[in-house]
Amino acid sequence: MLQLTWRKSSFSQLEGNCVEVAALGDGRIAVRNSRHPDEGIVFFARAAMDAWVRGAKAGQFDNLG
């Protein structure tokens, strides 16, 4: 089992509706659902996570729904 230090956004609501992230020693980023932390972890390369954050900030995902 991975022993990770999870971080949640300071914008997270008290109900826990947020994702949590943790840095791995090999440079990857782990992401999980804060409401269901035992239901799985998704791993991203640092470059992929950086690109996603830039896209989110630029509004590239605003019209997905």
Predicted TM-score (pTM) of this structure: 0.76
User: What's the pLDDT tens digit per position in 14-38?
Assistant: 666 788 999 999 999 999 988 888 8
* pLDDT of 44 higher than 90: yes
* pLDDT of 2 higher than 70: no
Beta strand ranges found along the chain (DSSP E)? 7-8, 19-23, 29-33, 42-44
Q: Where are the domains of the chain?
A: 7-57
**DSSP label at residue 48:** H
Cα(20)–Cα(34) distance, integer angstroms: 6
